[in-house]
Amino acid sequence: MTRHPQLPAGLTTREVEVLRLLAIGLKHSEIAEHLVISHKTARNHIEHIYTKIGASNRATASLFAARHGLMSDR
Selection from 28, 8, 25, 24 nearest residue 74 by Cα:
8
Show the CA angle centred on residue 37, arms to residues 41 and 57, nearest 5°. Answer: 45
pTM: 0.89
String of DSSP letters for 20-36: HHHHTT--HHHHHHHHT
Domains and CATH numbers, the chain: 11-67 (1.10.10.10)
Chain centroid to CA 3: how far? 14
Contact 22, 59 (CB under 8 A): no
At 5-47, the pLDDT tens digits run 589 999 999 999 999 999 999 999 999 999 999 999 999 999 9
pLDDT surpasses 80 at 52: yes
